Amino acid sequence: QVQLVESGGGLVQPGGSLRLSCAAPGNILRLYGMGWYRQAPGLQREWVAAVTNGGATNYSDAVKGRFTISRDNYKNTGYLQMNSLKPEDTAVYYCNTGPLGVYWGQGTQVTVSA
């Protein structure tokens, strides 16, 4: 069983920043790339950002220009740098990787509120 461990969530004021981390075993992030998703209360889980095994990145329109996904192959850790946070960014954030995206973390709560 592959375990992904997210961290870095918390409460932040609008306009603030947070950096989420996703620790993964072995070189799975380098092999498969990774993605970040989020789920707000009462809504479906939505894709936020992804980085391929080759290092190409892509973002949803909702976060483009504000969020940055990255990956440290030596630490086997992925990141999501979130800047200029808005209340609508409030959600549980999940990292995802593996063949056909089969592995998920447990999620970390991000709350953006004054």
Q: What is the pLDDT of residue 105?
A: 95
Whether the predicted pLDDT of 2 surpasses 90: no
pLDDT tens digits for range 32-62? 999 999 999 999 999 999 999 999 999 999 9
Whether the predicted pLDDT of 102 surpasses 90: yes
CA distance 31 to 54: 9
Provide the residue type at 97 as one letter: T
CA distance 89 to 91: 6
**Are the C-beta atoms of residues 93 and 104 closer than 8 Å to each other?**
no
Instruction: Find residue 111's DSSP bridge partners.
Output: 11
